[in-house]
Structure 1
Amino acid sequence: MSADHDHDTYEGPLELVAGDEVVTVAAVLSGVLQPIDGAYHWQGRLAPTDELTAFATLVGRKPIGIRVPGSEEVGGRLGERNPWGGYRVSGTGAPPAAHL
């Protein structure tokens, strides 16, 4: 992270996991180490798809697993649906993409 607080970013596929349900969506994520609490916070937006809407309806606000295909799963949450039909996603701690 640079001194001007630029966020690291990831743009690509993301897998959302809840039990046996897995959906792959296009995502743009960014993250930053917050000096106030000392934790890494990441967030992003997910492109709208019918599968994402069905997944979001199924899981609601419960914690979900999130991973870049082929990587380890981390915990996160789906946020609000945006006016374009996509959703926000966020988490604290290890990000789903190693370079975030």
Structure 2
Amino acid sequence: MRGAEQIVWPGGEHSFRLGIGELRAIEQRSDAGCAVVLMRLLSSQFKIDDVIQPIRLGLIGGGMQERDAQKVLDSALDIASPYALAVPAADILRRFIMWETDDQPSGEPGE
């Protein structure tokens, strides 16, 4: 899995990471696969946990204590609506379920 990434979002700039455990927790809380959660976020058909869990669990996976992650999330919810937080939630989730590496084939022969 990928390492943590620094992301700027309405709650500030923090380290985020979603490992297998965090991804499974998102699926359990949202009662859907991660790709379904991502599509719900992108299509504005999300549930509140679709927004909150990738952010909260991403902060925890990035090294923040659970209590501190909840405080940061609560502060962000004081200044930004769940609708506004859907974009960073989708970005966080996308970064840890979809990525390309240099060793992946491009699909074109000779490249």
- TM-score, normalization: structure 1? 0.25
Bigger radius of gyration, 1 or 2? Answer: 2
Higher strand share: 1
Q: Which has the higher contact order (CA 8 A, sep 6+)?
A: 2
Higher helix share: 2
